[in-house]
């Protein structure tokens, strides 16, 4: 038996071979459902389509009947055309999951009577990998190999990102599967804990189970494992408390006692009989440090930059725990002069990693103070980057260099009640204590002038304020007095002022600072400032004061950036010891955004769960990095005032376009400064380096954490506030991108924004999308506008707005999905009903559109009736739209019936009339309107060609291409390319058909015009087949299937004829014969006799292959 186990798992800790990457799509359902194909995310579409995929996924490899899918998808709300809608969703999923599938590749999602089957390998779905790993782990445990078992089970549990299929709670099969998988996960967790106990990893087991037992207190196997782990960890009292808590819960909730197994375990604990050999020894786990390293702490002194001032010794060696996190001291002045007597013993501050260059520049600048070469140095960057740490190290370096240099520190901070000049008050107070005699002598001449700086100052009688002088003069004299005092003291002993967080300084303090930086020239006085980058200062009015100081050639400006990966590596090794896996370091770097403070807090949390240097813990640590990052962020947020947290959430809602000015407007101006204070202090926001006036969320999970705690109502309200704050800056013809942004927030606001305020943004976003020819985006905004208008009371919008929006949507859908598509037809009907008051049912534009829709769907007799009505209107009114509509409808019907001379007459009439309208500037205008010159010439080409007037047809083909060479109407260009590709196929010109078809497909894909994509794939597939490419025929079949879904029946015999030719050329004789039989049946049913014209190659093929069947399909023309 032992040998058998070794063959499965050769040695302890032997890694599994790297799995081969799946060649197809990879689906993730253990959490939010998503799909990837290669390195790209696969859009799965709207909720109903995602639910369909999920229903197929839970029966992977099994045929799910169509009736079952319809029942489970729609339940009691089944649409009228449920099968067609289901097929549409299937088609979209098939294209999304296998966009490059060719004839040699089996379809991922295919039809198999009586329904559909999803064919994926188990390793392409995380839920199946999850269960496979669990099954393998259980087998290893049964074979007495707990190490291999725990490895597999841990890997399985790492795949779990959240509740599976959570978005489909209304679909019973998916809700049941979600519950089943949750039970599988809990069982796997219990089995993993059992393996961990066998390995002696009790601390790991405690950490894993304590989180779960609170949510699943009735799982007694889990409780038993946790009690065992607590007992073996020397926490017997907690193990016994766990039993009593579980027992009370079961009695109160269910009226039952614990199981016999748990009772026996409890008795063993009471008698100290639980595995005596292990219970009396230290746990045999991998969390214990080596003896020479056991005292090394995980430092957290930088988890609060400001807390390190004056409390470094108290906190340096104490790790911070999640529920016992010390509050940092209030931001008060901490001023300690260097060399002014014996200092208290403090632990050495570790050198600032990654800041050696900046520290060298500061030290070199400050040591010149002794020789009277004072400097101004500015250290800029957001909080958490180590500015305070850098200043602390500077103090130590200066003390080591020259003990005669005195350093005095002071800080600014924001908040109500902070008096003016607080920055300088701290400096004077400290100097009056450390050098009392010298300070008294220097300050004596100024007396009451120092009152604003030192309230209650009584030294001497000099310097009494001139009560007649203006307030500005008094302020200047106060500033001058302070300068004189500091310069006098610096003359006796070199002085370095360390002024921190000057972005919070009041205006008066900055004015004083500006005067001092000018007066210090040639004196033994230097100044070091720390603060945010100027672009992020809360009060931009102080920008000019600082810029003036920065222009001085003796000013050193140091901008701290994020730490690089090597720096973070060194930081981790300095605080956690060498041996931390580089993958863990890289994950920390990615999450922390280069902030040392953030890294140290995460190290503290990770160190509570596992030994950071344990090679066997790397996988678990990698899985914990992101949760720890979220925990750190939540801890940061928990300490913020509610108004600040609300504003941070507004930033998360606005991301990635967080504009400072709209934020100020959204909060009344002054409150917006609090968000800058808190967010920058915590390293959550930083200025966008590429776009002025904008901020960005720095940590990867900040937006997720902030928005994850919002209710729908709170989120909608924030979106409404931000949209309102953005909109005042927009003139009537504003920036389209800004309009789209406002529309996005207005839509996300839902009911929180009045409909009459949101509607104009929806309409302008639709216009912007139309100008970009972004079809799907325009469709989305038109839909949203229509829904919004429908919800508004009567009389609040123009009467013609709703029908006009429907007609805009019809034109769009006609080009994107085809005028025969069910959605387009529905909109035509709705628009007709809304726009047709009594006695006004003869609108030529409406009748023309209905006629086209009927033609596309093969309803030729009904279309001809509408053409007759249009002809009557044209004769009565001379309306050009009616004349064009009548000529087009009549001409197409005559053409299809093979009455080519009369059809040609109607087309020529339409060509002449549309050309004249174009010269007069009276062609139809508007987005997604077709050029009638193109429509008539397209059929004109076909008619001339079939009547053997090839030269005329060729000239009209060239004219079509010239007429559509502009990019403003791609659908007209696509029609011209389609006509040229069809004619080239009829003439056997493979290269021309391929060229026109490929250009058309590329153009249609670019603009999202799927209707034209399908049409053009037919001649392109024909050309590919004749050029020797096997994918040609599958492309044609797929195109015909998509046209069927869009209910396009017109020209179906034409397309079937080209497919039969391709099949015959590819030596698929039986397939060609079947296709020709279908073609003949369609011709007879739809009476499209033109496609049995003797000039067509398909007609010759019918004569060759189906000579005896040919007469059946012929019939009277006209």
Q: Give the tens place of pLDDT for each residue, 1005-1030.
A: 888 888 889 999 999 999 999 999 99
- The model's confidence at residue 460, banded by pLDDT at 50, 70 and 90, is low
Say whether both 63 and 36 belong to one domain: yes
In angstroms, the CA 74 to CA 171 distance is 9
Q: Is 845 helix (H, G, I), strand (E, B) or coil?
A: helix
Q: What is the mean pLDDT of residues 808-834?
A: 72
Q: Give the tens place of pLDDT for each residue, 218-253.
A: 889 999 999 998 888 878 878 888 888 888 888 777
Say whether both 437 and 460 belong to one domain: yes
pLDDT of 21: 43
Say whether both 23 and 140 belong to one domain: yes
- The model's confidence at residue 310, banded by pLDDT at 50, 70 and 90, is very low
Whether 128 is in a domain gets the answer yes
Higher per-residue pLDDT: 960 or 610: 960
Say whether both 375 and 396 belong to one domain: yes
User: CB neighbours of 1027 closer than 8 A, spacing ≥ 6?
Assistant: 990, 994
Q: What is the mean pLDDT of residues 1075-1093?
A: 93
Whether 809 is in a domain gets the answer no
H-only helix segments in 317-470: 356-367, 387-401, 422-434, 436-443
Q: What is the mean pLDDT of residues 957-974?
A: 87
Least confident stretch, 41-50, 632-641, 696-705: 632-641
Q: Per-residue pLDDT for 816 more than 80?
A: no
Pairing of strands 525-531, 376-380: parallel
Last residue of a domain, one of 776, 792, 808: 792
pLDDT of 23: 59
Per DSSP (E only), the strands in 96-251 are 109-112, 115-118
| Residue 451, domain CATH | 3.40.50.300
Which among 375-389, 822-836, 969-983 has the top mean pLDDT?
969-983
In angstroms, the CA 395 to CA 387 distance is 13
Total Cβ atoms within 10 A of residue 637: 19
Whether 368 is in a domain gets the answer yes
Least confident stretch, 139-143, 163-167, 303-307, 518-522: 303-307
Q: How many domains does the chain have?
A: 4
pLDDT of 304: 32
Q: Per-residue pLDDT for 983 more than 90?
A: yes
Whether 270 is in a domain gets the answer no
User: CB neighbours of 374 closer than 8 A, spacing ≥ 6?
Assistant: 368, 490, 520, 521, 522, 523, 524, 525, 526, 527, 554
User: CB neighbours of 320 closer than 8 A, spacing ≥ 6?
Assistant: 300, 303, 326, 601, 604
Least confident stretch, 145-149, 196-200, 557-561: 557-561
pLDDT above 90 coverage of the chain, percent: 22
Q: Per-residue pLDDT for 670 more than 80?
A: no
Higher per-residue pLDDT: 643 or 497: 497
- The model's confidence at residue 1063, banded by pLDDT at 50, 70 and 90, is very high
- The model's confidence at residue 732, banded by pLDDT at 50, 70 and 90, is low
Q: 């193990």: which residue's tokens?
A: 239
pLDDT of 1110: 57
Q: What is the CA radius of gyration of the chain?
A: 39
Q: What is the mean pLDDT of residues 1036-1055?
A: 89
Which among 114-118, 326-330, 384-388, 1072-1076 has the top mean pLDDT?
1072-1076
Q: Give the tens place of pLDDT for each residue, 252-298.
A: 777 777 888 888 888 888 777 765 433 332 333 332 223 333 222 32
Pairing of strands 376-380, 555-559: parallel
Whether 77 is in a domain gets the answer yes
Q: Per-residue pLDDT for 519 more than 60?
A: yes
- The model's confidence at residue 348, banded by pLDDT at 50, 70 and 90, is very low
Whether 654 is in a domain gets the answer no
Q: 């001497």: which residue's tokens?
A: 460
**926, 900 contact by CB (below 8 A):** no
Domain that holds residue 716: 711-792
User: CB neighbours of 628 closer than 8 A, spacing ≥ 6?
Assistant: 591, 602, 605, 606
Say whether both 381 and 436 belong to one domain: yes
CA distance to 81, 120, 129, 168, 173, per residue, from 54 (Å):
22, 13, 16, 9, 10
Say whether both 491 and 529 belong to one domain: yes
Q: What is the mean pLDDT of residues 1064-1070?
A: 93
Whether 497 is in a domain gets the answer yes
Say whether both 551 and 602 belong to one domain: no
The per-residue pLDDT of the chain, averaged, comes to 79
- The model's confidence at residue 672, banded by pLDDT at 50, 70 and 90, is low
Say whether both 542 and 569 belong to one domain: no
Enter the tokens of residue 350.
């570790």
- The model's confidence at residue 540, banded by pLDDT at 50, 70 and 90, is low
Q: What is the mean pLDDT of residues 315-343?
A: 33
Q: What is the mean pLDDT of residues 525-533?
A: 87
Say whether both 537 and 617 belong to one domain: no
Say whether both 620 and 526 belong to one domain: no
Q: Per-residue pLDDT for 667 more than 80?
A: no
Q: Per-residue pLDDT for 317 more than 80?
A: no
**333, 412 contact by CB (below 8 A):** no
pLDDT of 947: 94
Sheet strands side by side (includes 495-500): 406-411, 495-500, 525-531, 376-380, 555-559
Q: Give the tens place of pLDDT for each residue, 737-789.
A: 888 888 899 899 888 888 888 888 888 888 888 877 787 888 888 888 888 88
Q: What is the mean pLDDT of residues 374-383?
A: 82
Closest CA to 375 of 254, 555, 246: 555
In angstroms, the CA 274 to CA 914 distance is 96
Q: What is the mean pLDDT of residues 207-228?
A: 87
pLDDT of 282: 30
Say whether both 456 and 538 belong to one domain: yes
Say whether both 485 and 577 belong to one domain: no
Q: Is 185 helix (H, G, I), strand (E, B) or coil?
A: helix
Q: Give the tens place of pLDDT for each residue, 145-169.
A: 899 999 999 999 999 988 898 888 8
Last residue of a domain, one of 149, 179, 199: 199
**878, 897 contact by CB (below 8 A):** no
Enter the tokens of residue 199.
């390995």
Burial class (CB in 10 A: 0-12, 13-18, 19+), 402: middle
- The model's confidence at residue 831, banded by pLDDT at 50, 70 and 90, is low
Whether 472 is in a domain gets the answer yes
pLDDT of 605: 74
In angstroms, the CA 720 to CA 714 distance is 10
pLDDT of 193: 92
End-to-end CA distance of the chain: 86
User: CB neighbours of 469 closer than 8 A, spacing ≥ 6?
Assistant: 477
Q: 3-state SS of 753-779? A: CCHHHHHHHHHHHHHHHHHCCCHHHHH
Last residue of a domain, one of 792, 807, 827: 792
- The model's confidence at residue 370, banded by pLDDT at 50, 70 and 90, is confident
- The model's confidence at residue 458, banded by pLDDT at 50, 70 and 90, is low
Cα 499 from chain centroid (whole Å): 40
């Amino acid at each position: 038996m032992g040998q058998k186990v070794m063959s499965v798992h050769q040695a302890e800790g032997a890694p599994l071979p790297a799995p081969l990457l799946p060649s197809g799509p990879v689906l993730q359902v253990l959490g939010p459902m998503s799909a990837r194909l290669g390195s790209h995310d696969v859009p799965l579409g709207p909720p109903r389509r995602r639910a369909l995929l999920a229903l197929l996924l839970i029966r992977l490899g099994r045929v799910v009947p169509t009736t079952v899918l319809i029942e489970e998808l729609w339940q009691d709300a089944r649409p009228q055309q449920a099968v067609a809608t289901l097929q549409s969703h299937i088609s979209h999923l098939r294209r999304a999951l296998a966009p490059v599938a060719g004839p040699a590749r089996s379809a991922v999602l295919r039809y198999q009577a009586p329904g559909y089957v999803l064919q994926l390998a188990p390793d392409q779905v995380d839920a199946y990998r999850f269960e496979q790993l669990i099954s393998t782990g259980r087998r290893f445990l049964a074979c007495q190999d707990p190490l291999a078992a725990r490895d597999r089970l841990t890997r399985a549990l790492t795949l779990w990102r959240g509740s599976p299929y959570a978005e489909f709670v209304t679909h019973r099969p998916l809700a049941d599967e979600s519950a089943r998988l949750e039970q599988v996960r809990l069982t796997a967790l219990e089995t993993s804990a059992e393996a961990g106990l066998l390995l002696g990893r009790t601390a790991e087991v405690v950490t894993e189970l304590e989180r779960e037992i609170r949510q699943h207190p009735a799982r007694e196997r889990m409780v038993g494992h946790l009690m065992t782990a607590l007992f073996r960890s020397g926490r017997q009292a907690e193990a016994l408390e766990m039993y009593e808590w579980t027992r009370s819960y079961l009695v109160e909730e269910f009226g039952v006692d614990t199981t016999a197994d748990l009772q026996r375990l409890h008795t063993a604990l009471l008698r100290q009989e639980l595995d005596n050999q292990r219970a009396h020894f230290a746990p045999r786990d991998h969390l214990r440090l080596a003896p020479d390293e056991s005292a090394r702490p995980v430092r957290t002194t930088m988890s609060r930059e400001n807390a390190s001032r004056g409390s470094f010794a108290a906190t340096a060696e104490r790790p911070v725990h999640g529920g016992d996190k010390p509050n940092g001291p209030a931001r008060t002045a901490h001023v300690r002069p260097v060399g002014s007597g014996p200092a208290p013993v403090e632990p050495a501050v570790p050198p600032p990693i990654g800041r050696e260059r900046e520290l060298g520049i500061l030290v070199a600048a400050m040591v010149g103070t002794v020789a009277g070469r004072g400097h101004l140095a500015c250290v800029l960057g957001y909080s958490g980057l180590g500015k305070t740490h850098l200043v602390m190290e500077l103090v130590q370096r200066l003390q080591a260099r020259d003990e005669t240099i005195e350093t005095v520190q002071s800080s600014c901070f924001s908040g109500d009640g902070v008096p003016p000049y607080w920055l300088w008050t701290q400096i004077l107070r400290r100097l009056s204590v450390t050098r009392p005699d010298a300070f008294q002598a220097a300050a004596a001449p100024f007396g009451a002038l120092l009152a604003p700086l030192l309230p209650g100052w009584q030294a001497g009688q000099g310097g009494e304020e001139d009560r007649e002088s203006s307030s500005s003069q008094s302020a200047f004299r106060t500033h001058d007095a302070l300068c004189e005092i500091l310069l006098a003291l610096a003359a006796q002993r070199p002085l370095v002022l360390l002024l921190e967080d000057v972005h919070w300084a009041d205006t008066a303090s900055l004015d004083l600072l500006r005067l001092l930086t000018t007066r210090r020239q040639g004196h033994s006085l230097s100044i070091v400032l720390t603060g945010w980058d100027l672009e992020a200062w809360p009060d931009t009015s102080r920008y000019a004061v600082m810029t003036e100081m920065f222009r001085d050639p003796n000013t050193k400006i140091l901008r701290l950036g994020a730490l690089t990966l090597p720096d973070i590596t060194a930081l981790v090794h300095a605080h956690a010891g060498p041996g931390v896996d580089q993958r863990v370091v890289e994950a920390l770097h990615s999450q922390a955004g280069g902030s040392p403070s953030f890294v140290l807090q995460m190290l503290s949390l990770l160190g509570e769960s596992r030994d950071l240097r344990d090679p066997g813990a790397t996988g678990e640590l990698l899985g914990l990095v992101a949760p720890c990052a979220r925990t750190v962020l939540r801890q940061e947020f928990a300490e913020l005032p509610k108004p600040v947290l609300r504003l941070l959430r507004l930033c998360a809602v606005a991301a990635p376009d967080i504009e400072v000015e709209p934020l100020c407007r959204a909060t009344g101006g002054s409150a917006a400064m609090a968000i800058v204070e808190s967010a920058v202090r915590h390293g959550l926001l930083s200025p966008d380096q590429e776009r002025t006036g904008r901020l960005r969320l720095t940590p990867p999970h900040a937006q997720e954490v902030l928005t994850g705690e919002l209710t729908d109502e709170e989120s909608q309200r924030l979106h409404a506030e931000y949209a309102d704050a953005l909109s005042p800056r927009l003139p009537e013809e504003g920036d389209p991108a800004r309009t789209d942004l406002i529309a996005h927030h207005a839509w996300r606001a839902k009911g929180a924004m009045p409909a009459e305020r949101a509607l104009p943004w929806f309409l302008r976003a639709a216009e912007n999308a139309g100008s970009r020819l972004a079809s799907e985006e325009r469709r989305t905004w038109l839909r949203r506008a229509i829904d919004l208008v429908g919800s508004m009371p009567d009389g609040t919008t123009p009467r013609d707005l709703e029908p006009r929006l429907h007609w805009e949507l019809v034109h769009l859908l006609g080009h994107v999905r085809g005028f025969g598509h069910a959605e387009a037809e529905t909109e035509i009907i709705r628009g007709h009903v809304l726009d047709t008051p009594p006695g006004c049912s003869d609108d030529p534009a409406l009748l023309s559109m209905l006629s086209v829709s009927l033609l596309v769907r093969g309803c030729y007799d009904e279309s001809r009736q509408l053409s007759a009505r249009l002809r009557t209107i044209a004769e009565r009114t001379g309306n050009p739209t009616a004349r064009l509509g009548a000529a087009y409808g009549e001409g197409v019907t005559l053409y299809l019936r093979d009455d080519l001379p009369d059809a040609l007459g109607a087309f020529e009439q339409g060509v002449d009339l549309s050309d004249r309208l174009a010269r007069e500037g009276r062609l139809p205008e508007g987005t997604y309107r077709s050029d009638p010159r193109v429509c008539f010439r397209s059929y004109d080409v076909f008619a001339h060609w079939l009547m053997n007037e090839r030269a005329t047809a060729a000239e009209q083909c060239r004219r079509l291409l010239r007429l559509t060479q502009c990019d403003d109407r791609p659908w007209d260009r696509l029609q011209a390319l389609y006509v040229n590709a069809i004619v080239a196929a009829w003439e056997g010109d493979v290269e021309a058909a391929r060229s026109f078809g490929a250009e058309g497909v590329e153009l249609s894909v670019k603009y999202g015009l799927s209707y034209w994509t399908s049409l053009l794939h037919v001649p392109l597939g024909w050309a590919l087949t004749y050029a020797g490419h096997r994918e040609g025929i599958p492309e044609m079949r797929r195109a015909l299937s998509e046209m069927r879904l869009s209910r396009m029946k017109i020209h179906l015999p034409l397309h079937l004829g080209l497919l039969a030719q391709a099949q015959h050329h590819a030596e698929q004789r039986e397939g060609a014969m079947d296709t020709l039989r279908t073609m003949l049946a369609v011709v007879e049913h739809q009476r499209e006799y033109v496609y049995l014209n003797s000039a067509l190659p398909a007609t010759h093929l019918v004569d060759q292959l189906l000579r005896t069947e040919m007469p059946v399909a012929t019939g009277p023309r006209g």
